[in-house]
């Protein structure tokens, strides 16, 4: 106690003479320490529990209620094709849902372990992070999705930053080549999915995979990765956004590059603003500005951020799963969209002229996510860190559950926050 008073006095004195603020040291960061400690405990217990399965933790199995879906989607529940939705068997309900390495979310658990290691320096986390990252090695040969960036950059990309070895650059570069193989010159975009009846579907989420291309350009010095990324970002900028800066989820193109259709796959309806899609957009264009330093990306990222801040009306800044869903206390929140937004806005705050407003908003989100409303009690929540996200309400899937990507972007947001505030874990 005496020591704290002494530090406070020194800070006040220093601030008086130097004209600077010692705010960081004086603030109570118990909430942040609790968020990190909870994360470490949840991640380590999960890694032990799934050891040897060859799988990754994805979410929790839940069912759904047709009337509830009808209400949220604003449609007659009788028109919902229930047969298209999987109801987990009773013995699975409430238990951890694992996924294999070809799932689009497979990189997030190793990535979370890496961030937790970076935050704390705990070597047990490093060991587990390496182990789970290595499971993903076969993905370097996979070309079946655009999600390669999520899968490999969140895992191997963080491994390269925090525990480099000679083999990682080749893994990342081969994966980036496979992502580029999905780029169509005539259309000017990377194809997202190979399923469905669309001619050439591109989803807003695809902006998140460009970071892998930026990494490959850095590793090889080859500008082809940047050209693909830039063309994809520009095509998406011109075709995916509405005048109010909300985005469509899916845009499919004809072979001549004209738009075949604009739809949703996971949102409320084709013209609604699906919360996570808005978050992917602001994150993606902030990353484009970091890479290309072209003001058009910065202006675009700021305008998406401003749209999010004006349209998310919840007190705690955690959005409903879709901005256009009927809203009352039963409407599910999407903590994953909030975590992605917080991480993006911390980075955006370092580029934008009026960056403080983005920092403040991101800090508000981070504090909300770190409260008991969203942060799990250690030992609960099937080992996940955050509660209350939505995977795909439209498909009756993962409604109001933890999601591995909510956890990943929460930890990334914490890391960015601590860097910006110059905070160290052992001083919290």
Q: Which residues participate in catalysis according to the annotation?
A: 147, 205
Choice between 107 and 391, CB closer to ligand GLY:
391
Residue 268 or 276 having the CB closest to ligand GLY: 276
Shortest Cβ distance from residue 56 to ligand GLY (Å)?
15
Whole-Å CA distances, 289 to 183, 233, 279, 296, 305: 21, 11, 16, 8, 14
Contacts for 319 with CB less than 8 Å, ≥ 6 apart: 275, 308, 312, 333, 334, 337, 338
* Residue number, nearest CB to ligand GLY: 205
- Nearest Cα residue to 143 out of 193, 178, 174: 178
State yes or no: residue 103 binds ligand GLY (CB under 6 A): no
From the CB of 103, what's the least distance to ligand GLY, in Å? 11
Helix, strand or coil, per DSSP, at residue 339: helix
- 225-234 per-residue burial string, b: 16 or more CB within 10 A, e: under 16: bbebbbbbbb
* DSSP tally for the chain: helices H, then strands E: 16, 9
Nearest residue to 208 via CA among 174, 157, 244: 157
Angstrom distance (rounded) from CA 267 to CA 247: 11
Minimal distance in Å, beta carbon 334 to ligand GLY?
A: 10
Residue linked to tokens 């009690």: 377
Residue 245, interface with ligand GLY (CB under 6 A)? no
- Judged by beta carbon, residue 118 or residue 205, the one nearer ligand GLY is 205
In the complex, minimum distance from the CB of residue 150 to ligand GLY, in angstroms, rounded to a whole number: 7
**Cα 159 from Cα 338, distance rounded (Å):** 25
320 phi, psi to nearest 5 deg: -65, 160
Residue 205 contacts ligand GLY per CB under 6 A: yes
Over the window 378 to 407, marking each residue x when it contacts ligand GLY by CB under 6 A and - when it does not, the resulting string is: -------------x----------------
Q: Which is nearer to ligand GLY, 58 or 387 (CB)?
A: 58
Cα separation, 31 vs 23, whole angstroms: 16
Cα–Cα distance for residue pair 163/156, rounded to 1 Å: 10
Tell me whether residue 218 or residue 395 sits nearer to ligand GLY (CB atom).
395
What is the distance, to the nearest Å, from the Cα of residue 142 to the centroid of all Cα atoms in its chain? 22
Query: Contacting ligand GLY (CB under 6 A), which of 47, 209, 247, 266?
Result: 266
Q: What angle do CA 5, 6, 9 make, to 5 degrees?
A: 85
Residue from 276, 333, 388, 416 binding ligand GLY (CB under 6 A) = 276
Question: Could you give the angle at which helices 355-369 and 404-421 cross, rounded to 10 degrees?
Answer: 130
Quick one: which of 368, 276, 343 has its CA closest to 111? 343
C-beta of 135 vs 207, nearer to ligand GLY: 207
Six token digits for residue 219: 């590793």
- The count of residues in the chain is 428
The footprint of ligand GLY on this chain (CB under 6 A) covers a number of residues equal to: 5
Q: Which residues bind ligand GLY (CB under 6 A)?
A: 104, 205, 266, 276, 391
């Amino acid at each position: 106690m005496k020591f704290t008073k002494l530090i406070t006095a020194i800070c006040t004195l220093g601030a008086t003479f130097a004209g600077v603020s010692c705010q960081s040291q004086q603030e109570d960061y118990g909430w942040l320490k609790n968020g990190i400690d909870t994360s470490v405990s949840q991640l380590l217990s999960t890694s032990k529990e799934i050891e040897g399965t060859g799988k990754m933790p994805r979410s929790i199995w839940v069912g759904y209620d047709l009337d509830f879906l009808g209400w949220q989607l604003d449609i007659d529940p009788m028109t919902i094709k229930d047969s298209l939705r999987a109801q987990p068997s009773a013995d699975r309900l409430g238990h951890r849902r694992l996924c294999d390495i070809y799932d689009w979310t497979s990189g997030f658990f190793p990535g979370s372990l890496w961030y937790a290691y970076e935050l704390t320096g705990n070597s047990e986390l490093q060991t587990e992070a390496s182990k789970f990252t290595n499971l993903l090695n076969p993905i370097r040969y996979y070309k079946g999705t655009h999600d390669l960036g999520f899968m490999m950059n969140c895992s191997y990309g963080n491994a390269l930053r925090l525990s480099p070895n000679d083999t990682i650059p080749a893994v990342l570069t081969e994966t980036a080549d496979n992502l580029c193989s999905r780029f169509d010159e005539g259309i000017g975009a990377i194809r997202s999915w190979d399923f469905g009846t669309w001619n050439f579907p591109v989803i807003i989420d695809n902006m998140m995979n460009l970071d892998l291309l930026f990494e490959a350009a850095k590793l090889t010095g080859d500008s082809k990765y940047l050209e693909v990324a830039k063309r994809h970002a520009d095509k998406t900028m011109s075709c995916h956004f509405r005048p109010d800066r909300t985005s469509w989820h899916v845009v499919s193109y004809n072979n001549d590059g004209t738009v075949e259709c604009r739809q949703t796959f996971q949102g409320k309806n084709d013209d609604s603003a699906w919360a996570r899609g808005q978050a992917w957009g602001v994150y993606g264009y902030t990353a484009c500005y970091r890479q290309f330093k072209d003001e058009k990306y910065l202006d675009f990222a700021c305008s998406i951020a401003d749209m999010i801040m004006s349209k998310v009306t919840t007190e705690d800044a955690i959005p409903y799963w879709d901005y256009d869903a009927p809203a009352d206390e039963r409407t599910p929140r999407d903590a994953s969209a909030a975590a992605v937004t917080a991480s993006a806005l911390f980075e955006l705050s370092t580029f934008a002229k009026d960056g403080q407003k983005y920092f403040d908003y991101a800090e508000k989100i981070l504090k909300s996510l770190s409260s008991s409303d969203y942060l799990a009690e250690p030992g609960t929540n099937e080992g996940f860190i955050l509660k209350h996200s939505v995977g795909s309400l439209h498909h009756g899937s993962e409604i109001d559950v933890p999601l591995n990507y909510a956890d990943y972007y929460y930890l990334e947001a914490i890391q960015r926050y601590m860097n910006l505030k110059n905070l160290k874990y052992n001083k919290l």
